[in-house]
Amino acid sequence: MNLKKLTAVLLMLVLVASLAACGGGGGEEEPAASTELNIYMWNEYISDELIANFEAENNCKVNLSYMSDNADAITKLTAGGGQEYDLIMTCDAYMESLVAGDYVQAINFDNVPNATANINEAYWAAKEYCVPYLMNYIYVVYDTERCPIEITGYQDLVDPALAGEIGSVDGARNLFPIALVALGYDPNSTEESEIAEAYEWLVDYNNNVVAYGGTELNITNGTVSVIFTYDGNASWAMSELGENNNLVIAPFESDPVQLGFDLYVIPKGAAHVDLAEKFLNYICVPEVMAANLEEFPYSCPNDAAVAVASDTYKNDPARDFGYKQNVFFQEDVGEAITIYNDYYQKLKVGE
Amino acid sequence: MKKKNRLPALAMAGPVSVWMILFVTIPMFFIIFISFMSRGIFGDVVYDPSMESYLTLLDSTYFNVISKSLKVAAFTTLACLGLGYPFAYYIAKRPKDQAAKYITLIMIPFWTNTLMRLNSWLLLFQTSGPVNNFLQNSGITDAPVRFVYTDELVALGMVTSMLPFAVLPMYSSIEKLNKSLLEASADLGADAKTTFQKITLPLTFPGIFSAIILVFIPSLGVYTVPDMLGGGKVLYIGNIIKNQFGMIRNWPLGAALSCLLIAITGLLIFLYTRFTSIEEMEVV
């Protein structure tokens, strides 16, 4: 065999070997494990250390992209999110539509045993299709020194004494439910007349509000004395102000508070389902989630993680309130969402 | 007949034309196209022709928001002209090297991100911030004054972000002013006021018009300033459009609102070209 022929044969061998590597073996062999995981979620909502540890354990690269609004995630999902992402974060309110529209795929829970073992069933809607991550109570917190009145229900928020005192979360589906509850209606009402009444109520509420968003900053720097906010943000404000802060969670007598979940779904057509399921299983390991909770002290549906979490987390005053069971969930309101949006817009334009 | 060589023209205008067609013209036509479509249950765009979005615009809510946005943009423009013209005049009268330094000073805020600048306004003026601390420590006020999330702070934010766009074209216009005309005016007995009214102002009009266009149009569509400094309480047309594409997810309505904004801007540019020719535009 001359040198030319030998080179040609060697080259052929190299080519065949590299093709085999690319194809992951094919035939009876197992498909090669994914080495890349693309996640779309909220910014500042998962520990960098958790991600780094997962990458090291699974010899892979996790690419995080961030949304600025829940609607962004829905846009990604309905526009064929699987082409770009393997995991997308969304919330419980959209699950019904997403499942009905066939935008998310069922998760194989044989590969995610930690979720089944540790997550509280009561906090798990559309169980086949998602893994709950963290959850938020949206409640009222106020500064006892500076707030002119005691707040025991949503109706107190429209008291003229609170003019220029309230900092609030934004969004039609966060604001309208409290008005509907205050008026004695279903927080997920689809009746236009009830939503119209809620709008009138919110006009008064809006008069008392100083700013939407940045609630935790506005109460710590003294701009407002009352905030309608998420428990994670209240927790930040309380720890920022130190132990002797005057912040209390409003002692609601009968009004329920909203409880929402952020959860992960696998979009239809996701490329790295194996790694996505490994990731979901990993974040449900009690110790892993407990460490994550130190950095992001939100309420967590993973009971086992809460059990092994630090005392600081367990004794967080932002989650120490007596009416935790008196909650309502944001439900899919279907076409009525346009009624909500129209009134929300009217509220913000300020006619 | 010798064939005209088109290569130099193609080489110079070609890349820009391709860029403009790809990233301005096509997206703009797409926006116009979407504005005539319908919204699906999941907030997706359904390719089913409909005039619904334009009919929605007839609602008084949108009329209010547009008139409010026009007022804010008009105020910002007037304030920028009022503050910018004397400043531009002052710089134009300095020696060249000094003028260059002043121009650099105007540009410096643009070296940082707009959101950073807006956040710094919030930090500066917040209830426990340096301005309030100073006012209280020096005994000017007893209790903290709430500056943040007020219309005044929004106005301040708008004016500071837009001022350079007003100063630069006016500076360029004033700087080009032929000094001999001013001397002639003085020789013929006109006082400073008359010279300014009859000579300086009319000759620097193109610069003033450019400033109006450069400030008014962006102010009309801006949404970050009212969002951050106004506390998201009051929405202008820019915020409404942003919400349609984001939170509310009604792209056809957002597109129709964008078309309306394009129409308003188009009308302004048409008026502008009636007053001044393209060669006179003093865009730096």
For A305-345, what is each residue's pLDDT tens digit? 999 999 989 989 998 888 888 999 988 887 888 899 889 88
Give residue A259's identity as a one-letter amino acid code. L
Q: Where are the alpha helices (DSSP H) in chain B?
A: 7-20, 26-35, 52-56, 60-92, 96-107, 114-125, 130-137, 151-175, 179-187, 192-195, 201-203, 205-221, 224-229, 237-245, 251-275
Question: Are the folds of A36-134+260-309 and A136-259+317-349 the same?
Answer: yes
Task: Give percent of chain A above pLDDT 70.
Answer: 91
ipTM of the predicted assembly exceeds 0.90 = no
Which of A158-162, A199-203, A278-282, B161-165 is predicted with the least confidence, judged by mean pLDDT?
B161-165
Residue A278: name the closest of A65, A87, A45 by CA: A87
Q: Is residue B18 part of a domain?
A: no
Q: What is the pLDDT of residue B6?
A: 79
Which of A8-12, A142-146, B186-190, B216-220 is predicted with the least confidence, judged by mean pLDDT?
A8-12
pLDDT classification of A2: cutoffs 50, 70, 90: low
Give residue B145's identity as a one-letter amino acid code. V
Q: Is the pLDDT at A25 greater than 70, yes or no?
A: no
Q: Is residue B245 part of a domain?
A: yes
Q: Is residue B24 part of a domain?
A: no
Strands A166-168 and A209-212 turn out to be parallel
Token output for B9: 């023209």
Token output for B275: 């007053």
Q: What is the pLDDT of residue A22?
A: 41
Chain A environment of B144 (Cβ under 8 Å): 222
Q: CA torsion, points A323, A324, A326, A327, in degrees to nearest 10?
A: 140
Chain A residue nearest residue B145, CA to CA: A223
CATH of the domain at B163: 1.10.3720.10
The number of CA neighbours under 13 Å toward the Cβ of B222 is: 28
Q: What is the pLDDT of residue A201?
A: 97
b or e along A170-205 (b: 16 or more beta carbons within 10 Å of the residue's beta carbon)? Answer: bbbbbbbbbbbbbeebebbbeeeebbebbbebbeeb
Mean pLDDT for chain A overall:
87
Q: Is the pLDDT at A28 greater than 80, yes or no?
A: no
Its domain, for residue B85, covers 33-280
Query: What mean pLDDT is predicted for residues B57-77?
Result: 88
Q: What is the pLDDT of residue A30?
A: 54
Q: Which residue has the tokens 């006012």?
A: B135
Name the minimum distance, in Å, from the CA of A205 to any CA of chain B: 11
Is A348 in CB contact (< 8 Å) with chain B? yes
Spatial separation of the C-alpha atoms in residues B263 and B269, rounded to whole Å:
10
Spatial separation of the C-alpha atoms in residues B15 and B35, rounded to whole Å:
29
Q: Which residues pair with A89 in a beta bridge?
A: A264
Cβ atoms of B236 and B226 closer than 8 Å: yes
SS3 of residue A156 by DSSP:
helix
Q: Is residue B14 part of a domain?
A: no
Task: Give percent of chain B above pLDDT 70.
Answer: 95
Give residue A191's identity as a one-letter amino acid code. E
Determine the topology of domain A136-259+317-349 in CATH: D-Maltodextrin-Binding Protein; domain 2 (3.40.190)
Within 10 A of A78 (CB to CB), how many other CB atoms are there?
21
Query: What mean pLDDT is predicted for residues B171-197?
Result: 84
Q: Which residues pair with A36 in a beta bridge?
A: A61
CB contact under 8 A, B128 and A338: no
Spatial separation of the C-alpha atoms in residues A15 and A10, rounded to whole Å:
9
Token output for A258: 């909203």
Cβ atoms of B68 and B236 closer than 8 Å: yes
pLDDT classification of A24: cutoffs 50, 70, 90: very low
Q: pLDDT tens for residues B17-62? A: 999 999 989 999 999 999 999 887 767 788 888 888 899 888 888 8
Name the minimum distance, in Å, from the CA of B114 to any CA of chain A: 18
> What's the start-to-end Cα distance of chain A, in Å?
91
CB contact under 8 A, B127 and A338: no
Q: What is the pLDDT of residue A4?
A: 54
Which of A4-8, A202-206, B76-80, B200-204 is predicted with the least confidence, judged by mean pLDDT?
A4-8
Cβ atoms of B260 and B179 closer than 8 Å: no
Chain A environment of B246 (Cβ under 8 Å): 68-69, 71-72
Query: What mean pLDDT is predicted for residues A85-109?
Result: 90
Distance of CA B112 to the CA centre of its chain: 18
What does the domain layout of chain A look like in residue ranges?
A: 36-134+260-309, 136-259+317-349
Total domains in chain B come to 1
Within 10 A of B138 (CB to CB), how many other CB atoms are there?
8
Token output for A266: 């696998």
Q: Is residue B21 part of a domain?
A: no
Contact residues, chain B to chain A, C-beta under 8 Å: 39, 41-44, 60-61, 64-65, 68, 126-129, 144, 146, 148-149, 230-235, 239-240, 243, 246-250
Q: Which residue has the tokens 């995991």?
A: A87
Q: pLDDT tens for residues B169-178? A: 999 888 888 8
Token output for A188: 């997920």
In this complex, which of B43, B233, B243 lies closest to A74 when CB atoms are compared? Answer: B43
Name the minimum distance, in Å, from the CA of B27 to any CA of chain A: 18
Spatial separation of the C-alpha atoms in residues A242 and A244, rounded to whole Å:
6
Q: How many residue pairs from chains A and B have C-beta atoms closer than 8 A? A: 90
Mean pLDDT for chain B overall:
86
Q: Is residue B94 part of a domain?
A: yes
Cβ atoms of A320 and A251 closer than 8 Å: no
Q: Is residue B258 part of a domain?
A: yes
What CATH architecture applies to the domain A36-134+260-309?
A: 3-Layer(aba) Sandwich (3.40)
What global pTM score does this model have? 0.80
